[in-house]
Amino acid sequence: MKSIAQTIKHDRFQDPDRLHRPVLVLNASYEPINICAARRAIVLLIKGVAAAEEHAHHQVNSNRATLNLPTVIRLLEYRRIPHQSRALSRKNILMRDRYTCQYCQRVTPSGELTLDHVIPRSRAGETTWENLVACCHPCNNRKGNRTPEEAGFKLQRAPRPFSLHTSRHLMRLLGKSDDQWRKYLFY
């Protein structure tokens, strides 16, 4: 018999987007604290760490169980969330920039975006939140080893560290298109 974890792997090949859909994560106090993929949310439900508050119309099936995909989950135990910045990573830069090229403003899937050093590394540009932006391949190739001004580009907005404010703003943006999230996004 297949376990739910094996089914999740199998279902991923049938409808890959279903298990990557964003799920709002609430603390035990119903405070929104994160967004995770549906696949991760299912793991938290199976482990008994979280409970589903809202469901989508999609399901994941195994020989033993059928689970409705959650759209909102709530942790069963309160987690103290320290005020810290997020790790500097490709994923976090792309999320901060909303999967949008910061030069041509084209929204692109993550696989078609690169990270660009605003001040090139060859000119002592550092790998920091303030020097990295999401960039499409054509813009990155055109910019090359130049600054945006030298390449005739203008940044959509100055890059900043990913903060709690950025995270909450992203939750609100995603929640605008999901009626089930709205009642939990009270700020």
CA distance 175 to 29: 19
CA distance 161 to 150: 24
What's residue 112's pLDDT?
Answer: 92
User: What pTM, to 2 d.p., does this model score?
Assistant: 0.54
pLDDT tens track for 81-106: 766 567 888 988 988 888 899 999 99
- Mean pLDDT across the stretch 32-57? 91
Report whether 34 contacts 74 (CB < 8 A): no
- At residue 113, the pLDDT reads 95
Contact status, residue 135 vs residue 101, Cβ threshold 8 Å: yes
Task: Return phi, psi of residue 11, to 5°.
Answer: -65, -25
Alpha-carbon gap, residue 12 to 146, rounded angstroms: 41
Domains of the chain (ranges plus CATH)?
4-82+165-182 (no CATH), 90-151 (1.10.30.50)
Cα-based angle 95, 97, 102 (whole degrees, multiple of 5) = 150
Residues 108-149: tens digit of each pLDDT: 888 899 999 999 999 999 999 999 999 999 999 999 999 999
